[in-house]
Structure 1
Amino acid sequence: MANVKRRALLRTGAALGTGALIGAPLLHVAQAAQTDTLTLYNGQHAKTTQALVAAFTSSTGIKVDIRKGSSAQLANQIMEEGERSPADVFYSEESPPVAALAEKDLLAKIDGATLKQIMPGYTANDGTWAGISARCRVVVFNRDMVSESDLPDSVMDMATEVWKDKVGFVPTSGAFQEQIIAIKLIKGRDAALGWLKGLKQYGRIYNGNKAAMKAVERGDIATALVNNYYWYALADEVGADKMKAGIHYAGHEDPGALITVSAAGILKTSSKIKAAQRLLAFMVSAAGQDAIVGSVAEYPLRPGIKSPYDLKPFDQLNPPDVSPADLGDAADALALRREAGLA
């Protein structure tokens, strides 16, 4: 009996000893996580990223230093900085700038468990970047100037003389570049070039999507090509029931219904890969997706998350069969714009 008690005490002591040994490094890791600071190069909208980062830091204790700029500018900066880049994670408003970094072999692979949280078709083929949220290209229109039933079936038909001085567009917009490439992939390069030339001749250029959206609301122009969330952002300001502008979804696999994504990747040169992986995992977690879609009228890419905005159901958008991976770095968009006289 004494031997049995002794063996029990030894097992208890061994267990306590093991627990003590395990507890110390775990405490150290926790403390390290709390004092660790990630550097995030952010091209996404500031409000969205701030909401996401606040939720992430609250959940993990990991602080994030946000450095803001346009997505394209930040991608170019990372390429110039090379191994000296302080960036740990790059969060882009659109996917092509992240894809450009992946093509330069500057991104680390994201954990497979993280990628599996996202709907299929919204990650890089090699796992180096992930779509975080999605938006749809739409036509916003002033109800006093044009009826929705009079809008053409295809965005291609809006670059014609029939729509002269009735279509606003933003040629420098990242999503517009993606739309150019989508048209190229679906209808060919000549069709994309012809569409751009038509818009230049008959459309009206705006310096930003917000400006184009507000121009439609004021009645300065009948329609504009923007992302869906610009309508909701203005509705938040003035009240949806007071708006003169409506939102039209092209559907039927038209390039005018293209779905694009905000995307993120981890820099290979990061000295904090584990913490960076945690940030990417949080971005696609239920808590992260809730924080994102609560701040902007974009679609969550994690199944089961509901936007607080009254969005058209994602499975009813009927977009063209062009994925973010298909769009790549969208490099030819600039060349096409130049050929059309829009750059």
Structure 2
Amino acid sequence: MKKFSLTAASVMLVGALAACGDTAKDNAAKEPAKNETKQITIYSGQHEETTNALAKAFEEKTGIKVVSREGSSSELAHQIAEEGKKSPADIIFTEETGPLVMLSEKGLLEKIDSKALDQIEPKYRDANGTWTGLIARSRVVAYNPKVVAENDLPKTVYDFAAPEWKDRVAFVPTSGAFTLQVAAMMKLDGKEKAKKWLEGLKKYGKVYKKNKMALDAVEKGEVAAALINNYYWDLEAKEKGANNMNSKLYYFGNGDIGDMISLSGAAIVKASSHKKEAQQFMEYATSAEGQQVLTDVSAQYPLNPKAEAKGLKPFSELTPPEGALDLGEYSDGQQAIELIQEVGLL
């Protein structure tokens, strides 16, 4: 192995470098290395597979690395609020829009560039441009036609909370989508009607811990029907083949709250130190290409009309209730959670 020794000139050079060491450190802190890998951090309350698929596609498209922190949408939003200007998050990707509304009201979100916003219809994004919906899903009824005929299913979701459905309808009170549905009921139909529905479900329905478990119960014929989101059924049908499913999807088709649509959305955190890259992410996530990635992996509806929801009931044929997208004071779901707790389901 070749050895090296310091010459007098080398010693002088080392001394000179040491003397200006502080300046060099300051410059290094201000100016990242030319070949440093660009990176953004996403706080994700979405299903892990969905976030990972979008992140991977974005990385391949742009070369920008994505680091994801997983958790519940509400918890991550409150974490960002607590972290304030020191938050390491660049993007927050939530399962529902309530947490985004909260962060926007606190002034903790950056305005998204029009290149991204213009790819999504105005009704699916914040009027001030601080967050946008990315994908949507519908509440549905999964039912087993060997146990109950479609004609015998009720015309409103409220009718499931009745004696004739004793131990025949499954629901998941811990689900964020269930909470959102209750919040919509409170806004559109009043707290008392929502409470009466919850009390009826508690008395006559069957509680499951997860939506997948509720769907499995329908598939096995343990219950006649389950209140879930469309993608649980659509993902399983995609894997098995719709003709191999024991259950089917039922839509009320009349503007009933049982057909409500909810959005998953994303925003740029104001504290982000990588705003340029974060804007690029939002532009990709709302593009036809990014939207196709999202719908293909999650079986949810893309909000860019140029992307196609393959195998799902056409988005244009859904008939959600008017006013359920903008829940106002009920957006964060807190009042709904308190009502569900009051009834004894949490």
Q: Same-fold call, TM > 0.5?
A: yes
- In the TM superposition, what are the counterparts of 1:189-268 in structure 2 within 5 Å? 189-268=191-270
For these two proteins, the number of residue pairs brought into alignment is 313
Alignment deviations for residues 285-329 of structure 1 (CA, whole Å, 9 cap, x no partner): 011011111112111100121122x11111111110124333522
- In the TM superposition, what are the counterparts of 1:70-89 in structure 2 within 5 Å? 70-89=72-91
C-alpha displacement of 1:34:
7.3
1:332 aligned onto 2:335? yes
Aligned-residue identity in percent: 47
C-alpha displacement of 1:79:
2.5
For 1:139, which of 106, 131, 141 is the aligned residue?
141
- Asked if structure 2 preserves the Cα contact closer than 8 Å seen for 1:125 and 1:325, the reply is no
- In the TM superposition, what are the counterparts of 1:147-162 in structure 2 within 5 Å? 147-162=149-164
For 2:149, the aligned partner's letter is S
For 2:315, the aligned partner's letter is F
SS of 2:235's equivalent in the other structure is: helix
C-alpha displacement of 1:36:
1.2
Alignment-derived partner of residue 317 in structure 1: 318
- Asked if structure 2 preserves the Cα contact closer than 8 Å seen for 1:135 and 1:260, the reply is yes
CA distance 1:125–1:336, change in 2 (3 Å) = farther
Cα distance in 2 between the residues matched to 1:257 and 1:63: 38
C-alpha displacement of 1:40:
0.5
Cα distance in 2 between the residues matched to 1:272 and 1:115: 19
SS of 1:220's equivalent in the other structure is: coil
SS of 1:94's equivalent in the other structure is: coil
C-alpha displacement of 1:118:
0.6
C-alpha displacement of 1:193:
1.1
- In the TM superposition, what are the counterparts of 1:180-195 in structure 2 within 5 Å? 180-195=182-197
Cα distance in 2 between the residues matched to 1:106 and 1:38: 17
- Asked if structure 1 preserves the Cα contact closer than 8 Å seen for 2:140 and 2:251, the reply is yes
Alignment deviations for residues 223-279 of structure 1 (CA, whole Å, 9 cap, x no partner): 111000000122234332121111111221100010011111111111111211111
- Asked if structure 2 preserves the Cα contact closer than 8 Å seen for 1:293 and 1:300, the reply is yes
1:95 aligned onto 2:97? yes
CA distance 1:32–1:156, change in 2 (3 Å) = farther
Alignment deviations for residues 47-71 of structure 1 (CA, whole Å, 9 cap, x no partner): 1111111111111111110111222
Alignment-derived partner of residue 344 in structure 2: 341
Unaligned ranges ≥5, structure 1: 1-28
Q: Give TM-score, length-normalised by structure 1.
A: 0.87
- Asked if structure 2 preserves the Cα contact closer than 8 Å seen for 1:95 and 1:324, the reply is no
CA distance 1:33–1:113, change in 2 (3 Å) = farther
- Asked if structure 1 preserves the Cα contact closer than 8 Å seen for 2:112 and 2:129, the reply is yes
For 1:318, the aligned partner's letter is T
For 1:51, which of 50, 53, 78 is the aligned residue?
53
For 1:179, the aligned partner's letter is Q
SS of 1:315's equivalent in the other structure is: helix
Q: Give TM-score, length-normalised by structure 2.
A: 0.86
CA RMSD of aligned residues (A): 1.8
SS of 1:325's equivalent in the other structure is: coil
